[in-house]
Amino acid sequence: MNKLSNKTSAILKENYLSVVYAREMSEGIKNINRDITSSFLTGRHADSVRISKELKLISTSLHAEKNNITEAGEEKLVANIDADYSEYIDSVSAIIKAPISAADLVYLQNKSDVLSNQFLLLSQMNGSAIEAKTDDAKASAKRALTQMTILATVCFLIGLSFTFSFASYFSQRFFQLYKGIKEIVSSNFDQRLFFEGKDEFYEISLVFNEMAEKLKKNKQKTSVTLYEEIGKDASSNDIEELKSILLRVRSLEEQAATLISRFEKK
């Protein structure tokens, strides 16, 4: 896209400006000839101020064109324009200072015709360059569009692959977590989770395994306590401790059942 931008800028900066300069110089010559011809037909002196203004504008455009040579053969053409224009200026200066004769008018007209043809060649040369460079810019734009399409397709496939991989990754881990919670609710306190990595699932597995271990120990402790207390009187403190253990186990089982219900709803 940067190459395309540079090519477009070159067309506008180089060739288009040359076409503008050629048009400005051609119009300036026509205005001068029109004023001199009108003065000759009406028998009055030419407007030297107006003619000087037009000559100055032509000289400015010609100087700018000399600094904007871009095409093969353009430098030689501009050099010929510069030489013929110098002769044209001398003829105009002589006409302004003396009465206009028919011979002077014919010579001036011939010289202006030569200049007009050269301006036309300059305009055509840069116009052809604009057409060729525009076609090249179009080809560059087409190539850029093709490359961007390929790049977008590759990015889409990569994104789709990552999406599928992440979905499978999380789905598998959620299923293992769900299965482990169901085992705990079924009083299988030997169930453990083993997740690789250092993500949130790994931290959950550590908490889950710790909870399962505590439940297993509480269950064993409860069984031993009940066995030992059979046949003898239990103190009120021991009974209260047993009740507290049973309540904690029941609370953990209720929390696990609630978590499983949420997973099943999702």
Q: Quick one: DSSP state of residue 68?
A: -
Whether residue 42 is found in the same domain as residue 139: yes
Are both 143 and 210 inside the same structural domain?
A: no
pLDDT tops 70 at residue 142: yes
DSSP states along 181-204: HHHHHTT-TT------SSSHHHHH
State how far the alpha carbon of 98 is from the alpha carbons of 40, 69, 87, 94, in Å: 12, 38, 17, 6
Does residue 160 lie within any of the structural domains? no
- Rounded to whole angstroms, the Cα distance separating 30 from 116 reads 9
Mean pLDDT value across residues 99-125: 88
The pLDDT of residue 234 is 46
The range of the structural domain enclosing residue 254 comes to: 186-265
Number of domains composing the chain:
2
Domain boundary among 129, 149, 169: 149
pLDDT averaged over every residue in the chain:
79
247 lies in the same domain as 191 = yes
Report how far residue 246's alpha carbon sits from residue 238's, in angstroms, rounded to the nearest whole number.
12
Whether the model clears a pTM of 0.75, i.e. scores above it, the answer is no
Digit-coded pLDDT (tens) for 22-44: 999 999 999 998 888 888 888 77
On whether the CB atoms of residues 55 and 61 are closer than 8 A, the answer is: no
Question: In this model, does residue 191 exceed pLDDT 60?
Answer: yes
Neighbours of 53 (CB within 10 A): 14
The two tokens of residue 128 are 């052809």
Same domain as 226, residue 120: no
